[in-house]
Amino acid sequence: QTVLGIESSCDETAVALVAADRRIIAQRVASQDDAHRPYGGVVPEIAARAHAERIAPMVAEVMEEAGMELADLSAIAATAGPGLIGGVMVGLVSAKALAMAGDVPLIAINHLEGHALSPRLVDETLEFPYLLLLVSGGHCQILRCEGVGQYRRLATTIDDAVGEAFDKTAKILGLGFPGGPAVEKLAREGDPKAVPLPRPLVGGKEPHFSFAGLKSAVLRAKDSGRYSNADIAASFQQAAIDCLTDRLERAIANDGHAPALVVAGGVAANASVRAALEALAAKHAMRFVAPPPKLCTDNAAMIAWAGCERLGQSDPLDYKARPRWPLDPEAEPARGAGV
């Protein structure tokens, strides 16, 4: 059984063919970094147009590489939200057209569920429940994953996501776009103790996150002219990691403990973040699972895999794209909730 996945929620156009036995048969990720770089961030209209130009030829490519036809597919899975609505609509409408043409079921996937289930694509022994740190460009959450579609949110950010903090730090340091990998690279040359930076919410009783204050402190450090870019990058990265591990410690102490600690989302590509989490997992006798970096940042293999996890589901062809779509609808938005 094979699922075609389509991802277009931000600035990566991605398609993939994944088999239910966890084989990634073919995949493509087309980044739009060059198109957005002049603007220092993702421009939604440019992203939507680029997705529209690329999806059809990329689908044709992976199908040809696999020697498959639409009728051979068990389902077509597409990101239906959350994300930049123009791009999501382009990917979803492409999937609908293919589903109709091939008479194949459509499965609408929550992009965050794609990230959340991606570790199960690469580790067949990873069972529910597991404790998930979801760290990406738009989200910073701790979730207890109890089953497919069953996610209990234990924490979220009250302001910025951690990936956003990496991107803003890169901008402040003039490292360009996208920022996360550039900060990680420069941080290797710096002293993580050189710049005193805050660790917002560390020690707090609820495991929530906050990164806005850290970003402002990075800006002040840069403006002071007293520190090298490498020292600022290293100190920022260390502060961010300290926040992530402290908040996870809190979630585990509250009621988050599970047999495995799992990390997913773009920031999970960061080697220092992974090392810190691996150590934390060991300390709590939890198994640690992280997808390879290429499956941490946006890709369609994770969307196709989420489709594999949901085989049997068939969504209507008038399914609406959702700009906002929380994984845990029960969870109150923490924004402004006064944690």
- Provide CB contacts within 8 A for 115, sequence distance 6+: 134, 136, 264, 265, 302
* Residue (3 or 183) nearer to ligand ATP, CB: 183
Return the residue of 8, 136, 235, 238 that touches Fe ion, per CB under 5 A: 136
Please identify, using beta-carbon distances, which residue of 11 and 309 lies nearer to ligand ATP.
Answer: 11
Q: Are 155 and 251 in contact (CB under 8 A)?
A: yes
Taking CB under 6 A as the binding criterion, the range among 52-60, 131-139, 143-151, 313-321 that sits at the site for ligand ATP is 131-139
x/- map, 250-269, ligand ATP, by CB under 6 A? ---------------xxx-x
Cβ distance to ligand ATP smaller for residue 58 or 99: 58
Which residue stretch of 12-20, 140-148, 157-165, 297-305 sits at the interface with Fe ion (rule: CB under 5 A)?
297-305
Interacting positions 74-113 with ligand ATP (CB under 6 A): 83, 111
Determine the size of the site formed for Fe ion (CB under 5 A).
2
Separation of alpha carbons 322 and 329, rounded Å = 13
In degrees, rounded to 5, the angle at the alpha carbon of residue 149 between the alpha carbons of residues 113 and 211 is: 45
Instruction: Give the nearest distance from C-beta 180 to Fe ion in angstroms.
Output: 12
Least distance to ligand ATP from the beta carbon of 48, Å? 15
> Which region among 14-22, 131-139, 151-159, 195-203 touches Fe ion (by CB under 5 A)?
131-139
User: Which residues make up the interface to Mg ion (CB under 5 A)?
Assistant: 11-12
Segment 289 to 318, residues that bind ligand ATP, using CB under 6 A: 297-298
- The residue among 52, 47, 152, 32 whose CA lies nearest residue 93 is 52
Q: Which two tokens stand for residue 63?
A: 């199908």
Phi, psi of 54 (to 5 degrees): -95, -30
Q: Which two tokens stand for residue 292?
A: 């390879």
**Whole-angstrom distance, CA of residue 287 vs CA of residue 131:** 10
Q: How many CA atoms are closer than 13 Å to the CA of 260, on its beta-carbon side?
A: 18
What's the closest the beta carbon of residue 154 comes to ligand ATP, in angstroms? 17
User: Whose Cβ is closer to ligand ATP: residue 139's or residue 144's?
Assistant: 139
Pick the closest to residue 12 from 300, 265, 263, 293 (CA basis).
300
Q: Which of residues 183-222 bind ligand ATP (CB under 6 A)?
A: 184
d(CA 129, CA 132): 9
Size of the site for ligand ATP (CB under 6 A): 25
E-state strands within the chain: 2-7, 12-19, 24-31, 75-81, 106-110, 130-135, 140-147, 150-155, 260-264, 287-289
The pattern of x and - marking residues 135 through 154 that bind ligand ATP according to CB under 6 A reads: -xxxx---------------
Which residues make up the interface to Fe ion (CB under 5 A)?
136, 298
Which residues make up the interface to ligand ATP (CB under 6 A)?
9-10, 83, 111, 115, 136-139, 163-164, 166-167, 178-181, 184, 265-267, 269-270, 297-298
